[in-house]
Structure 1
Amino acid sequence: MIVCFDIGGSAIKGAVAHTPDQILPLGRRVTPLDDFTAFVDTLRDVIAEAGEEPDRIAMSITGVVDPETQAIKCANIPCIDGRTLGAELSALLGLPVLIANDADCFALAEAGAGAGRGYRIVLGAILGTGVGGGLVVDGRLINAEGGFAGEWGHGPAVAAMAGTPPVAIPVFDCGCGQRGCVDTIGAARGMERLHLTLHGKRLESHEITTLWQNGDAQAARTIDVLVDLISSPLALTVNITGATIVPIGGGLSNVTPLIAAIDTAVRARILRKFDRPLVVPGECRIEPGLIGAAILGLAGETR
C-alpha cells in the first residue's frame, strides 16, 4: 500500500492506493505556500488518515525536478522552491518519497489507465490554463529522475503567420522567461490573448469555444489561427518522440470538436500517417494526478 498525493498551489489531495484501480481518496487540505514545516505537517496528517504505514509516498506536483541536482523549481509553492524535496521529505517522514511533475503524472495515468493503454509511446499533452506535457515509453516516464522532456509548450516555436488566410502573429513574452512559446498562444489563456489580438475583444476561453460551436465568425477565426499555431509544434513533438497516441488533458480537452480539429491538423503534418485519431481527449477525467502518482509509487521505484 502507498499514499499518493496530487499537490497544487491551492490544494493538497491524498489517497491510499493498493492498485491503480483501487484508489481511496483521503482528506483534501489547503496547500501551505510559505511555511515548509506546515507543508510537511499537512502531508503527515493525510498519511495518518491511511490508518497504516505505507510502503512509500508518491506525489504529483506542480513544478519540475532538476534531474542533476534533484532540486525542485516550483513558483506556485514558494516554501518548497529550490529544495531537494524528495530527499528532505523522505528524511522528515521516514518513508521513501517519489516525486513527478503533474503533467508527467497525467501522461502516466493515461498510459496505464486511460486513452494510452496498449500503446508503447504515449505523449500526454495538457491544454489547460497553459500548455504542458509528459512522455511515457513502455510504461515508464522518460522523466523518471526529473526533467523537462515532453514540455512542448515552451521554446520559441510560434509561427510568424497563421490561419487561413494567414495573419501576422505577435511574439509574446512567456512566464518561463522566453519569448514566442506555444504556451503564450495555446490553451485557455493563449486563446483569450489571440481573440483580443485578432478582434480587440476580451472574452474567456469558454465563451470563445461556445461562440465557435454556435457559428460565430470571429470565434471561428480565432480557433482557426489557434489550431494552426499549436498543431505544427505538436506534430514536431510527435515526430521526435515517435508517439502513437496523444491524450489531451486540461480544460480544453472537454471541447471535443477542438480536439478533433487539432487531431486532423496534426495528422496532416507528421511523417507517419494514421488512419485513426492520434490526438484524443484523455480518459482519466477524475484525479489523473492521483492515478499517475499511484502508478508511479506502486511500481516501487525510488530515487
Structure 2
Amino acid sequence: MIYGFDIGGTAIKGGFSFDAKTIGDPVRVPTPADDFDAFVDALKALIETAPGRPKGVAISITGVVDPDTGRTICANIPAVDGLELDTVLAERLDIPVIIANDADCFALAEAELGAGRGYSIVFGGILGTGVGGGLVVGGELVNRDGGYAGEWGHGTILATHVGDPPRDIPHFACGCGRQGCVDTVGGARGLERLHAYLSGHALSSEAILAAWAAGEPAAKGTLSAYIELVAAPLALVVNATGADIVPMGGGLSTDLALVAALDEAVRHRILRRMARPLVVPAQCRTEPGFLGAILLGLRQFE
C-alpha cells in the first residue's frame, strides 16, 4: 500500500491505494500554507486513517523541484518553499517520500489511465487559471527527479500581431517576472486579460466562451487572437517533443469547441501530418494530480 497526496495552496487531498485498479476518492483538508509543523501534522493525520503503514508517500504539489538543488520552489505554500521537501518529510513522517509537480502528475495520469493510453510520447497540457504541462515518454515522467520540462507556459515567444482581422497585442507582464509568456494569455485569467484589451470590456472566461459560441463579434475577435497565440507555441512543443497525443486539462479544456479549435490550429502548424485529433480533452477529470501521485508512488514503492 502507498499513500498519495495532491497538495495545493488551498487544499490537501490524500488517500491510499494498493494498486492502480483500486484508487478511491481522496479526503480533502485545508492546507496550512504558512506553518510547516501544522503542514506535517495534516499529512500525518491523513496517513493515520490508512489501514496499515504505507510503504511510501507520493506527493503531487503545486511547485517545482529544482533538479540542481533538490529544493522545492512553491510560492503558493510558503511553509515548504526552499526545502528539500522529500528528505525533510521522509524524516518527519518516517516513511520514504517522492515528490512531483502537479502538472507532471496530471500528465502521468493521462498517459496511464486517460487519453494518452497506448501512446509512446504524451504531452499533458493544462489551460486552467494559468498554463502548465508535463511530459511522459515510454510511460515514465521526464521530470522523475525534478525539473522544468513541460513548462510551456513560461516561454517568452508570443506573437504580437494576430487574429482575424489582425490586431497588435502587447507582451503582458507575467508573474514569473518576464514579459510575453504564454501564461499571460493562455489560461482563464489570460483569456480575460486579452478580451479586456481587445474589446474594452471585462468578462469572465466563461462569459467570453459563451459569447464566442453565440457568435458575438467581440468574443469571436478575442478567440481568433487567443487560438493563434496559444496554438503556435503548443505546435513548437509538439515538434520539439514528438508528442503523439496532447491531452488538455484545466478549466478552459472543458469547452470542447475550444479544444477542437486548438487541435485544428496546432495540426496546421506542425511538421507531422495527422488525420486524427492530436490535442484532445483530458479523460481524468476527477483529481488527476492525486491519480498521478498514486501511480508514481506505486511505481516507486510497490
Which band: TM-score by shorter chain? Answer: over 0.9
Matched residues in 1 for 2:65 and 2:108: separation? 17
Secondary structure of 1:297 counterpart: helix
1:282 corresponding residue in structure 2: 282
Matched residues in 1 for 2:19 and 2:25: separation? 13
1:249 corresponding residue in structure 2: 249
Q: CA RMSD in A?
A: 1.0
Q: What TM-score results when the alignment is normalised by the length of structure 1?
A: 0.98
* 8 Å Cα contact 2:134/2:149 also seen in 1: yes
* 8 Å Cα contact 1:56/1:95 also seen in 2: yes
After superposition, give the CA deviation of every residue in 1:160-213 in whole Å (9 maximum; x if it has no partner): 111122110111110011110000011201110010000100000000001111
1:230 corresponding residue in structure 2: 230
1:88 corresponding residue in structure 2: 88
Change in 2 beyond 3 A, CA 1:292/1:159: same
Matched residues in 1 for 2:26 and 2:193: separation? 38
1:52 corresponding residue in structure 2: 52
| 160-169 vs 73-82, which moves further | 160-169
Matched residues in 1 for 2:102 and 2:152: separation? 14
After superposition, give the CA deviation of every residue in 1:71-128 in whole Å (9 maximum; x if it has no partner): 0000000000000000000011111101000000000000000000000000000000
1:103 corresponding residue in structure 2: 103
Secondary structure of 2:48 counterpart: helix
- Structure 1: which 5+ runs fail to align? none
Task: Within 5 Å, give how 1:108-147 maps onto structure 2.
Answer: 108-147=108-147
| 193-202 vs 24-33, which moves further | 24-33
Matched residues in 2 for 1:107 and 1:95: separation? 25
Matched residues in 2 for 1:301 and 1:138: separation? 19
Matched residues in 1 for 2:210 and 2:184: separation? 21
* 8 Å Cα contact 2:2/2:301 also seen in 1: no
2:185 corresponding residue in structure 1: 185
Matched residues in 2 for 1:220 and 1:187: separation? 17
After superposition, give the CA deviation of every residue in 1:252-285 in whole Å (9 maximum; x if it has no partner): 1100000000000000000001100000000001
Q: Which amino acid aligns with 1:287?
A: E
Q: For residue 51 of structure 1, report the CA deviation from its aligned partner.
A: 2.4
1:40 corresponding residue in structure 2: 40
Q: What TM-score results when the alignment is normalised by the length of structure 2?
A: 0.98
Matched residues in 1 for 2:210 and 2:3: separation? 39
* 8 Å Cα contact 2:253/2:259 also seen in 1: yes
1:18 corresponding residue in structure 2: 18
Q: For residue 301 of structure 1, report the CA deviation from its aligned partner.
A: 5.9
After superposition, give the CA deviation of every residue in 1:205-238 in whole Å (9 maximum; x if it has no partner): 0000011111111111111100000100000000
Matched residues in 2 for 1:159 and 1:301: separation? 45
* 8 Å Cα contact 1:26/1:49 also seen in 2: no
2:153 corresponding residue in structure 1: 153
Q: Which amino acid aligns with 2:122?
A: V
Q: Which amino acid aligns with 2:234?
A: L
Runs of 4+ in 1 over 6 A off after TM superposition: none
After superposition, give the CA deviation of every residue in 1:107-159 in whole Å (9 maximum; x if it has no partner): 00000000000000000000000000000001100000001001111021110
2:199 corresponding residue in structure 1: 199
* 8 Å Cα contact 1:133/1:150 also seen in 2: yes
Q: Which amino acid aligns with 1:78?
A: P
Matched residues in 2 for 1:245 and 1:24: separation? 27
Change in 2 beyond 3 A, CA 1:26/1:234: closer
Change in 2 beyond 3 A, CA 1:52/1:158: same
1:170 corresponding residue in structure 2: 170
After superposition, give the CA deviation of every residue in 1:21-49 in whole Å (9 maximum; x if it has no partner): 21123431100011100000000000001
- Structure 2: which 5+ runs fail to align? none
